[in-house]
Structure 1
């Protein structure tokens, strides 16, 4: 048999194995996800609530986030498209099936209250609400709800729910986008918006979203 034929068979076999591996990932299973998420609880807590850490690294709430969004972030950590020294080792411990299972597990949990908005002033919350719901066209800042949906409850796998997310985490991510330290969102929309926001704007919108509550139906 010629080398050309053997090479062609090898390519076909390789493609078949790749397709088989891709098909081997089943829809995420929350029960399996609970077991796979055992190492996640140290930071994200058993109920997926995360933690607001003033002047430290806040750990985001995962409970109630879209499963597709959680999957995408874990894949991005594994691939290096998103950088975080704390998360990358844990993401690399999970295989493709475990990522789907962990995402399914956290997505079916009820949304928990957030921290970091308790001490915000009325003026700060008013500014945060403006940026969230109407934006600031004088500064070319698009409203957050344009992508994250009314009430900030999220839209699909690209735009996560940010209502009832910890202020410390929102603040950190906005600064990361502003400083070109994060760029794993569609067309780097967040980077363009964050660069137009002052530090006070970031504090205000983070505090406002942290102070919002989300019901089981996803409404404020």
Structure 2
């Protein structure tokens, strides 16, 4: 009976905390964290979370909270190098990371068309996206990131509707080793196998979806 009472109490406590955490997440996103270095996310990622590609700031709206939290921790660890995100990530507390990533995840996703591998690719970018180039051991992007690049679970983020400048910058980062937070160096291998023309083409392709 005592254990049952604890379960009931725990459930009520969680229900009471969740709205507060959501409010905290929105506050952090719009006003910043408790430490001076934790600048407001809205500054770069915009009020709707759709980002600002002219500055290379990505769309984060609707992404998995688990994925977003991992990226913040990876900036802290130096697995992703970024002069803007390093001090911000380092200044956020664990509670703030959890709250703000849950808020980001709650923002409306970009709506994208359904594209399957049955489609005949048009152009270099779409060819790489839905067919890859197996002669060079380059898998199609949709094999991991889902049909049309919509994203899969907590590991593979959406590509569709993401900014072209940001996507190209990440492929360059994997090429150069300034981003090394992918499992088994999968993205590192793929990025190093791509030409500059191919990077631009596939980045432009995914950026053009969902508009």
Which category of TM-score, normalised to the shorter sequence, fits these structures? 0.7 to 0.9
Unaligned runs of 5+ residues in structure 1 are 1-24, 115-123, 215-220
Match of 1:66 in 2: 64
Offset at residue 191 of structure 1 (A): 0.3
Q: String of CA shifts for 1:74-119, please: whole Å, max 9, x gaps.
A: 11112222211010111112111111111111111112489xxxxx
From the superposition, tell whether residues 207 and 37 of structure 1 become closer, same or farther in structure 2 (CA, over 3 Å): same
Match of 1:184 among 178, 181, 186: 181
Give the TM-score, by structure 2 length.
0.78
Offset at residue 156 of structure 1 (A): 1.9
- Secondary structure in 1 matching 2:193: coil
Aligned length: 178
Q: Pairwise mapping of residues 116-155 of structure 1 onto structure 2 (< 5 A)?
A: 126-155=123-152
CA RMSD of aligned residues (A): 2.3
With CA pairs under 8 Å and 6+ residues apart, which has the higher RCO, 1 or 2?
Answer: 1
- Secondary structure in 1 matching 2:157: coil
Offset at residue 180 of structure 1 (A): 1.4
Q: String of CA shifts for 1:157-180, please: whole Å, max 9, x gaps.
A: 221111100000000000110111
Structure 1 Cα separation of the partners of residues 148 and 21 of structure 2: 28
Match of 1:32 in 2: 24
- Secondary structure in 1 matching 2:41: helix
Structure 2 Cα separation of the partners of residues 162 and 109 of structure 1: 16
Structure 2 Cα separation of the partners of residues 107 and 79 of structure 1: 22
Match of 2:50 in 1: 49
Q: Which has the larger radius of gyration?
A: 1
Contact residue 79 and residue 178 of structure 2 kept, 8 A: no
Q: Pairwise mapping of residues 7-22 of structure 1 onto structure 2 (< 5 A)?
A: none
Unaligned runs of 5+ residues in structure 2 are 1-16, 31-39, 113-120
Structure 2 Cα separation of the partners of residues 158 and 182 of structure 1: 15
Give the TM-score, by structure 1 length.
0.75
- Secondary structure in 2 matching 1:29: helix
Contact residue 174 and residue 187 of structure 2 kept, 8 A: yes
Match of 2:77 among 76, 79, 82: 79
Q: Pairwise mapping of residues 148-187 of structure 1 onto structure 2 (< 5 A)?
A: 148-187=145-184
Offset at residue 154 of structure 1 (A): 1.0
Structure 2 Cα separation of the partners of residues 74 and 106 of structure 1: 13
Structure 1 Cα separation of the partners of residues 78 and 176 of structure 2: 17
